[in-house]
Amino acid sequence: MLAVLSPGQGSQKPGFLTPWLDLPGTEARLRWWSALAGVDLVHLGTDADADEIKDTALTQPLLVAAALLAAEHLPMYDVTLTAGHSVGELGAAALAGVLPAEAAITLAGVRGREMAAACALEPTGMAAVLGGDPDEVLTALAAHGLHPANRNGAGQVVAAGSVDGLDKLAAEPPARARIVRLRVAGAFHTPYMAAAESALAAVAAGITPTDPARILLSNLDGAAVTHGREMVQRLVRQVVSPVRWDLCVATMADLGVTGVLELPPAGTLAGLVKRELKGNGAPEIVTLNTPDDLPAARDLIARHGMAPSHEPTMQFRVVVAPSAGNFAPAPDVAEGDDVRVGQAIGQVVTRQGPVEVTAHDSGVLTEWLAHHDDPVAPGQPLARIGGHS
């Protein structure tokens, strides 16, 4: 199984799009997307220096554009799973078929501008907490009024909040932990971004999404999202919610991902996956940064990808598990029954309680793919819905 990853803010490098402009049609595509995003993506990806591309309002649409640009040169129909980190979720949602590329670019432009504006409202920041006991780290953050904005795994939590709170954390770090202040504009993925969330929600309400054509993981909880409208709601909510990349990687492990391809500017997410998934079950990883890397990327897809036309995937209206647990079919639903959109057909019993499983299309429940009390992983097919009734 192959996962394609779309990186988030902080992964950008000066001039990283320059070699891509040698490919036919690339510059024209970037100029079209620049008009949608309200920024000059050609300049930002080629001539802009490191300070300019640190600007949140500029960086976010640049990163989404880079991922989508590279993916146009790949056989994405053989890709089973997509996921993105922070703003990279917009790219992942587009690659999964939830959003048109134009909508993802437009939302990235709005998201970047509004988050930059929210940063200017009061002095806030972020710091990486490296090492330490995870529970002790979270306790220390709470004691200083800080939020765990990113939980990336591999002993890395990113704290966010007031500058005063970050100063106190640096002065009193948790045991065996090191604090590294990050050069960012403010406290992303915390309640300090509430104004940006409201502004993004107002624009996102005008989008008509479609259900994902492949497994799409959410930063909110690592779950596989099967409804397009729900994913858009999660993309908006993520502005003020922690990025649980650790849970996304855990889901990839549960699903048995064997190959990982990170889109440009690649390296950060590949490194996190490599540190988390070790040993015999470690996936093969390819980082795609320039067109010279395309042959290796295509080869990885060919060897680890899975053509959806031969497998029960969401393209064939398969209902999948939203989280890990044990599956319990609804007692009043059986093979051959008509089901409607939104109807509960069962639940996944998790440690935190039951999570409802609903049909995302109307039709006939033609086959159960999991049975009572079967252990299931996020994204695992549970039932197949046939032709419309």
Q: Please report, for the domain that includes residue 149, its CATH number.
A: 3.30.70.250
210 CB burial (10 A radius; 0-12, 13-18, 19+): middle
Model pLDDT, residue 377: 80
Cα separation, 274 vs 237, in Å, equals 28
The answer to whether the beta carbons of residues 128 and 170 sit under 8 Å apart is no
Q: What is the pLDDT of residue 387?
A: 62
Asked if residue 270 and residue 233 are part of one domain, the reply reads yes
Residue 149, both tokens: 């904005």
- Cα(261)–Cα(79) distance, rounded to whole angstroms? 10
**Cα–Cα distance for residue pair 15/42, rounded to 1 Å:** 10
Same-domain check for residues 35 and 104: yes
| Chosen domain end from 149, 182, 215 | 182
8 A C-beta contact, residue 260 and residue 243: no
Give the residue from 81, 115, 374, 361 showing the smallest Cα distance to 218.
81
Alpha carbon separation from 369 to 142, 320, 348, 385, 388 (Å, rounded): 43, 9, 14, 11, 19
Predicted local distance difference test score (pLDDT) of residue 381: 80
Cross-sheet strand order for the sheet of 325-329: 353-358, 344-350, 325-329, 375-376
CATH number at residue 197: 3.40.366.10
Distance CA 210, CA 220 (A): 20
Q: Report, as residue numbers or ranges, the catalytic residues.
A: 86, 189
**Full residue range of the structural domain in which residue 368 is found:** 317-385
Domain count, the chain: 3
| Same domain? 211 vs 225 | yes
Q: Based on the domain organization, do 221 and 273 belong to the same domain?
A: yes
Give Cα 368 distance to the centre of its chain: 29
Closest C-alpha to 360, from 267, 252, 229, 243: 229
Q: Which residues of the chain have pLDDT under 50?
A: 307-316, 388-389
How far apart, in whole angstroms, are the C-alpha atoms of residue 76 and residue 78? 5
Are 93 and 207 members of one domain?
A: yes
Are residues 228 and 377 both part of a single domain?
no
Quick one: pLDDT at residue 112?
Answer: 97
Question: Which candidate, 246, 9, 241, places its Cα nearest to that of 147?
Answer: 241
> Considering 309, 327, 348, which residue would you say is the last residue of a domain?
309
Q: Are residues 9 and 71 part of one domain?
A: yes
- C-alpha closest to that of 18 among 36, 50, 43, 55: 43
Gap between the Cα atoms of 379 and 383, Å rounded: 12
Q: Are residues 346 and 249 in the same domain?
A: no
**Same domain, residue pair 16 and 113:** yes
Q: Are residues 207 and 301 in the same domain?
A: yes
CB 231 within 8 Å of CB 221: no
CA 140 to chain centre: 27
In this structure, the answer to whether residues 305 and 286 fall within a common structural domain is yes
Q: What is the CATH number of the domain that holds 353?
A: 2.40.50.100
Q: Token pair 């309640």 is at which residue? A: 191
387 CB-near residues (< 8 Å, 6+ apart)? 363, 364
CB 105 within 8 A of CB 33: yes
* Host H or E run for residue 41: helix 41-46
Q: Which pLDDT tens digit goes with each residue over 308-365?
A: 433 444 344 678 888 889 999 999 999 989 999 889 999 999 988 999 999 877 888 8
| Phi and psi at residue 329, to the nearest 5° | -60, 150
Question: How high is the pLDDT of residue 388?
Answer: 44
- Whether 64 contacts 100, CB under 8 Å: no
Report the pLDDT value the prediction gives residue 317, as an integer from 0 to 100.
65
Give residue 384's pLDDT.
Answer: 83
Give the residue from 158, 182, 206 where a domain finishes. Answer: 182
Give the tens place of pLDDT for each residue, 83-139.
Answer: 999 999 999 999 999 999 999 999 999 999 999 999 999 999 999 999 999 999 999
Are residues 278 and 324 located together in one domain of the fold?
no
